[in-house]
Amino acid sequence: SHPLGGFMIVAQGVAYLAAWPTFALRPIRWLVLQAGLVVLAAPWVVFYLDHPPEYVLSRLPIKYLFGLPIGFIGGDFRALAVCLGLIVVGLITRVGGPRRVRLDRPASSGPLLIWFALPPVILYGYSRVAQPIFGPARYTLFVGPAYLILVARGLVKLPWPLRWPLALIGAGLAGSVLATTVYAPGLKADWRSAAEYVHRQRALGERVPVVVISDNPQGNREVETARYYLGPGVDVLAAETALDVLNRRSNPPKSLIFAVGLRQGEPVAPIPEGLAWRWSAGRSVIDFPGLRLETVHALDEARP
């Protein structure tokens, strides 16, 4: 049901068409099921398309697409090269001599390759021509199982003196990255909880603008995320332009909420000097995983 699951559904459909004679499900029944999916999803798709994505990136070079599988096991491009070699070993089998090879078990190999490769390629292509959303690992995690199966199929074909050392090295690489890619506290800013807090304050009558501070002032993506979770009723400003926007208002706000990401418990960037000069009284701070909200009030009189 995740919006990006549509890319996975496309891959599943192509995989079925590539190997449909081996499936018990006949084409006419498969088409009926696809039509049923369309009918069920159509009312929901309208609400998915009526707003921009919560998280946008710059358009990444194609090397990020090729390097995507590194995140499934760990290591670097050298480890990736070994894993791709294992996939090739698992995909081919000899026929009639050492120089004649063919695809091993095509009924399963084809769908596995489609499952692994097609969704990221579609997502990357979409990001090149439309909204640039390719990048976050959670958007492509659903192809990881196919990659692991393909690597495992190569491992089991190797003699045990090679198989077990490579398997143990792979397990070690995977374990070493879990702390930074899965279990790291604050790995993803908890904007949902922050939004609940802001809306509770608004219910009490405090309609305070939220100023989003980024560690990348030239590409403040976090402000789009904040607008997505806080909704159109909350005044969300990027820190880089907030002072100019607020100065143009006839009645500047008496209070602001600064939102800034946390890395290892520390803010990723300071409050911009111009904003800190004007709004710095009565600070109150509340931390969420990966995110800090700091409420400040305007000084009663300007500093000399």
Strands 92-94 and 101-103: antiparallel
What's the whole-number mean pLDDT along residues 209-219? Answer: 86
Mind listing the pLDDT tens digit for each residue in 232-274?
889 999 998 998 898 888 888 888 999 999 887 889 899 888 8
Mind listing the pLDDT tens digit for each residue in 72-115?
998 889 999 999 999 999 998 877 666 788 888 888 899 999 99
**Beta carbons of 165 and 199 less than 8 angstroms apart:** no
**Share in percent of the chain as helix, strand, coil (round to 5):** 55, 15, 30
Mind listing the pLDDT tens digit for each residue in 109-158?
999 999 999 999 999 998 888 878 888 887 888 899 999 999 999 999 99
Chain-centroid distance of CA 33 in Å reads 29
**Beta carbons of 61 and 146 less than 8 angstroms apart:** no
**Beta carbons of 12 and 116 less than 8 angstroms apart:** no
Token representation of residue 267 = 């803010």
Pairwise CA distance, residues 107 & 105, whole Å:
6
* Dihedral angle over CA of 152, 153, 156, 158, nearest 10: -100
**pLDDT at residue 275 is higher than 70:** yes
pTM for the predicted model, two decimal places? 0.71
**Beta carbons of 296 and 283 less than 8 angstroms apart:** yes
Pairwise CA distance, residues 238 & 242, whole Å:
6
**pLDDT at residue 2 is higher than 80:** no
pLDDT of residue 133: 80
Pairwise CA distance, residues 109 & 150, whole Å:
8
What's the whole-number mean pLDDT along residues 189-203? Answer: 90
Pairwise CA distance, residues 111 & 153, whole Å:
14
**Beta carbons of 23 and 2 less than 8 angstroms apart:** no
Q: Name 256's bridge partners.
A: 296
